[in-house]
Structure 1
Amino acid sequence: MDQTAVEVLRIIEENGRVAVPTLAKMVDATEEEVQNILKTLEDEKVILGYSAVIDWSKVEKQEGVTAVIDVKVTPQRGVGFDEVAERIYRFPEVKALYLMSGAYDLSVVIEGKTMSETARFVSEKLSTVDTVISTTTHFQLKKYKHDGVVFDQGEEDHRIVVTP
């Protein structure tokens, strides 16, 4: 992969809405070259999608529950953690899944409408996977920063502090 493609990736990772003409100027390439780079990167599954970071707490009646579940599993001979990870990431509730070092093997991020819906997922789906040994569920209480974007920065108080 050449340096121009890497530059394109860095730019669109920061802002996926950059227009091709602007992107071409930023990397000193033609629009056609940038379009070809993007198409190649998409075809090769380097670019997997384009997304926006949404603060759902500001959208009435749309905020759900996000949980991070630490999962300890028994790896399978010959495939390690891959087979059990595939079984878990196929559940529609699962938004992210990571192989981790440390006390737990997998970190599963799920989203649901309510805490009880999330609890049902853990008890009825996740914990019933035959290689799952144990789970620990952590509920997200507030989002401060996600994908490099700071949430709810609020208005800075510009008043001068007066002391006696």
Structure 2
Amino acid sequence: MNDKMIEILQVIESNGRIPLPTLAKMVDMTEDEVTSILKKLENDKIILSYSAVIDWSKVEKQEGVTAVIDVKVTPQRGVGFDQVAERIYRFPEVKALYLMSGAYDLSVVIEGNTMSEISRFVSEKLSTIDTVISTTTHFQLKKYKHDGVVFDQGEEDRRIVVTP
């Protein structure tokens, strides 16, 4: 991995929709060279997807509920946490799953339409897995910043400053 590849990754991580000509100018390369690098990074599974950050709280009837669930599990001999993690991330409600250090082993981010839907997921799907010892569910109340994007910054004060 060379410096140009890393530079391209940094740019598209902050703006995955940047036009190719602009990206090429930013990294001082031709469009063909940038296209070739992007294809290589995609084929090597370094670029996994291009996504948008959406403020669902501003979309009527689509806000939903997000929860972070701390999960304590018994690791399996020979596979550690990988097998139980795979079983958990296959549920469609799971949006993210992380192996953590500290009091809990896994951190699961799930989305649902209601708190009841999330509680059913925890009680009927997650806690029934035989290696799951305990769970702690935290409901997201408000999103301030996600993937480097600040939500609801408010409008800039356009009043003229008057001083004596």
CA distance in 1, matches of 2:83, 2:22: 42
Per the alignment, residue 88 of structure 2 pairs with 88
Q: Which runs of 5+ in 1 are unaligned?
A: none
RMSD over aligned CA atoms reads 1.3
Count of equivalent residues: 162
Structure 1 position 71 matched with structure 2 position 78: no
Per the alignment, residue 117 of structure 1 pairs with 117
Q: TM-score, normalised by structure 2?
A: 0.95
CA distance in 1, matches of 2:104, 2:20: 43
Per the alignment, residue 16 of structure 2 pairs with 16
User: What SS class does the counterpart of residue 48 from structure 2 fall into?
Assistant: coil
Structure 1 position 156, deviation (Å):
3.7
**Amino acid corresponding to residue 112 of structure 1 in structure 2:** G
Q: Report 1:14-163 matches (<5 A).
A: 14-157=14-157
1:80-100 per-position Cα deviation (integer Å, ceiling 9, x unaligned)? 000000000000000000000
Structure 1 position 158, deviation (Å):
5.0
Task: Rate the CA distance shift 1:24–1:44 in 2: closer, same or farther, 3 A.
Answer: same
User: What SS class does the counterpart of residue 137 from structure 1 fall into?
Assistant: strand
Task: Rate the CA distance shift 1:158–1:25 in 2: closer, same or farther, 3 A.
Answer: closer
CA distance in 2, matches of 1:161, 1:52: 41
1:14-36 per-position Cα deviation (integer Å, ceiling 9, x unaligned)? 10011111111111111111000
User: What SS class does the counterpart of residue 87 from structure 2 fall into?
Assistant: helix
User: What SS class does the counterpart of residue 154 from structure 1 fall into?
Assistant: coil
Overall identity of the aligned pairs, in %: 82
CA distance in 1, matches of 2:96, 2:27: 31
1:33-83 per-position Cα deviation (integer Å, ceiling 9, x unaligned)? 100000000001000000010000000000000000000000000110000
**Amino acid corresponding to residue 7 of structure 1 in structure 2:** E
CA distance in 1, matches of 2:155, 2:41: 40
Structure 1 position 161, deviation (Å):
9.1
